[in-house]
Amino acid sequence: MSEAIQYDAAENRAGLTGVKAYLLTSLLVFALMMLAGVVLRAAQGAYINIPPEVFYQIMTLHGAGMVGIAGFAGAGVLWYFLRQYVRLNGKVLWLNYFIFLGGVVLILAAILIGGFAGAWTFLYPLPAQSMGLWSPTAATAYMLGLLVIGTGFLLLYLDIGIALIKRYGGLGRALGVPMMFGAKVDPSHPTTVVAGTMVLIVNFTGIAAGAVVLALCLFNLWQPEYKLDPLLIKNLIYFFGHVFINATIYSGVVAVYELLPKYTGRPWNVSRPFLYAWGAATLMVLAVYPHHLLMDFVMPPWMLVMGQVLSYLSGIPVLAITAYGALTIVYRSGIRWDAASACMLIAMFGWAGGVIPAVIDGTLMVNKVMHNTMWVPGHFHFYLLLGLLPMVIGVCYYLSNNRENGGKPLVDTAALAIYFFGAMGLILAFLAGGADSVPRRWAEHFESWRFLGQLSAVAGGLTLLGFLVITLRNLVKLPQAKIA
């Protein structure tokens, strides 16, 4: 069922250099965007003084840059492992790489030259009504940039989708649907194929919705008499945004499924609970997004109730089955610890830890108080900094160290520790701000809030420092690493 795909030399080279390019580009962009984040926190802590419109430009850059590169890095990780089981096209991987860069240029121009500062969520009618801060051209460049990036991703997913269908005779089979409903469970069906199929289904849907809403907003920008329904637009944007950022983790988690078995010498086989969890997540990730609209009282009540109830259910099954699987596979396995295997365990911690404040905020009564406070950046920085990023970093280390085997240089251990504790400090200060009702997305903070900003500026600086060392180490080793 799962004998590995054979690639010829040229295909192999295109694909594997592509994977390296994705990973290294991601590390560099993550580092640059972290610097932007530290600047934001330093400004909120009044360590530095920047004009509010510049704060919002940097915030837009940080938000859009981080979300985009998170998706890009997740795609690189998923692609690398999935190509073992289905025949993926390295040229399409590269095509998406260059389309992505093209989109980035548009977005950078919109923000840095055009002064666009409408936040990565481009909530209608903000891009069109800038109160003179940016022109419709700048807003166009920004939204066109997102549209271009989305198109690249859709092409990449198209190739993945075709490959999955060719190999497994349908997406349902790849996801393991027949095995959920009675067919004998085939333990050799790859976990990565199940996860990859889920990501493909949800992210294709999410990005397609994103493309629709971007096209509508672009049209409105140049034909202002063509009015849009703000509530519908907000629903579409958050549907897209929720799915896209969640899909980054669901892509990255295949690293855990693939690497832990290699480090422990124990297989990670699919089981019925595993398939149920991923099957349920496929549906729920698409339906949970109204938890972003809990304070929009004009929403149909049933949707808000669905948003709350699914918030409890949506993330939990896959997280539980993965965390449980990870713990049982590691327990008494005599696992070989190095930077890569340590990252996988940090990732499980960060993902699980970040889900807790997320679920709390998905509760209507809590959201009444916590909505748009620092609690929100608190939860998503938790599972992105300590969940997704360790998955990506771990894969970089795994590929960099390949064949060198063993050895855990002190510098890597130290860099990871600094990164970890810096990120924890940053996250806890965000959450403490949330508990104190400090609003998110405010350029200027009251005197009494500044201490938390200063604390996080230092913690964020440490995070960046650790991450820079990690980046440099991989920048030196990964390009020459022989990977298969």
Q: Reduce the DSSP state of residue 181 to 3 states and report it.
A: coil
Task: Report if residue 119 touches ligand HEM, rule: CB under 6 A.
Answer: yes
The residue count for the chain: 484
* Contact of residue 47 among ligand HEM, Cu ion, none (CB under 5-8 Å per partner type): none
Nearer to Cu ion, 62 or 242 (CB): 242
How far is 217 from 229, CA to CA, in rounded Å? 11
CB of 208 to ligand HEM, least distance (A): 21
Task: Report if residue 37 touches ligand HEM, rule: CB under 6 A.
Answer: yes
CB of 283 to Cu ion, least distance (A): 15
In the region spanning residues 399 to 438, those forming contacts with ligand HEM, defined by CB under 6 A, are 426
Nearer to Cu ion, 325 or 362 (CB): 362
Which of 15, 63, 76, 150 touches ligand HEM by CB under 6 A? 63
List phi, psi (to 5°) of 441.
60, 40
DSSP 478: G
* Contact of residue 242 among Cu ion, ligand HEM, none (CB under 5-8 Å per partner type): Cu ion
Nearer to ligand HEM, 67 or 138 (CB): 67
Token pair in block for residue 222:
């140049």
DSSP 444: S
Q: Dihedral (C-alpha) 341, 345, 346, 347: value to the nearest 10 degrees?
A: 100
User: How far, in Å, are 79, 170, 484 from residue 341 at the CA level?
Assistant: 20, 33, 19
Nearer to ligand HEM, 88 or 464 (CB): 464
Q: Of the listed pieces 104-112, 250-258, 334-342, 376-384, which binds ligand HEM according to CB under 6 A?
A: 376-384
Q: Reduce the DSSP state of residue 405 to 3 states and report it.
A: coil
Task: Report if residue 440 touches ligand HEM, rule: CB under 6 A.
Answer: yes
In the region spanning residues 450 to 479, those forming contacts with ligand HEM, defined by CB under 6 A, are 460, 463-464
List phi, psi (to 5°) of 389.
-60, -45
How far is 463 from 473, CA to CA, in rounded Å? 16
Task: Report if residue 247 touches ligand HEM, rule: CB under 6 A.
Answer: no
CB of 381 to ligand HEM, least distance (A): 5
Task: Report if residue 34 touches ligand HEM, rule: CB under 6 A.
Answer: yes
Picking from 452, 320, 446, the residue whose alpha carbon sits closest to that of residue 377 is 452
How far is 307 from 291, CA to CA, in rounded Å? 5
How far is 231 from 216, CA to CA, in rounded Å? 13
Nearer to ligand HEM, 66 or 370 (CB): 66
Residue at shortest CB range from ligand HEM = 37
Cβ-Cβ contacts under 8 Å for 242 (sequence gap 6 or more) = 206, 285, 288, 289, 292
Q: Reduce the DSSP state of residue 439 to 3 states and report it.
A: strand
Task: Report if residue 70 touches ligand HEM, rule: CB under 6 A.
Answer: yes
Task: Report if residue 252 touches ligand HEM, rule: CB under 6 A.
Answer: no
**Binding letters toward ligand HEM, positions 383-402, x by CB under 6 A:** -xx---x-------------
Which of 291, 292, 379, 381 touches ligand HEM by CB under 6 A? 381
Residue at shortest CB range from Cu ion = 242
Q: Of the listed pieces 83-91, 101-109, 338-346, 380-388, which binds ligand HEM according to CB under 6 A?
A: 380-388
Task: Report if residue 38 touches ligand HEM, rule: CB under 6 A.
Answer: yes
Nearer to ligand HEM, 48 or 327 (CB): 48
* Contact of residue 377 among ligand HEM, Cu ion, none (CB under 5-8 Å per partner type): ligand HEM
Cα dihedral 105, 111, 116, 118 sign: positive
* Contact of residue 70 among Cu ion, ligand HEM, none (CB under 5-8 Å per partner type): ligand HEM
**Binding letters toward ligand HEM, positions 42-61, x by CB under 6 A:** -----------------x--
> Which alpha helices (DSSP H) does 270-408 contain, by range?
272-287, 301-314, 316-330, 339-361, 364-370, 375-383, 389-401
What number of CA atoms fall less than 13 Å from residue 85's CA on the CB side?
A: 25
The residue count for binding ligand HEM (CB under 6 A) is 25
User: How far, in Å, are 321, 329, 370, 430 from residue 352 at the CA level?
Assistant: 11, 17, 20, 17
Nearer to Cu ion, 182 or 300 (CB): 300
Q: Reduce the DSSP state of residue 459 to 3 states and report it.
A: helix
CB of 302 to ligand HEM, least distance (A): 28
Q: Of the listed pieces 30-38, 129-137, 275-283, 294-302, which binds ligand HEM according to CB under 6 A?
A: 30-38
**Is the backbone peptide bond immediately before 125 cis, with ω within 30 degrees of 0?**
yes
Cα dihedral 245, 247, 250, 254 sign: negative
Q: Which residues bind ligand HEM (CB under 6 A)?
A: 34, 37-38, 40-41, 59, 62-63, 66-67, 70, 119-120, 377, 381, 384-385, 389, 426, 440-442, 460, 463-464
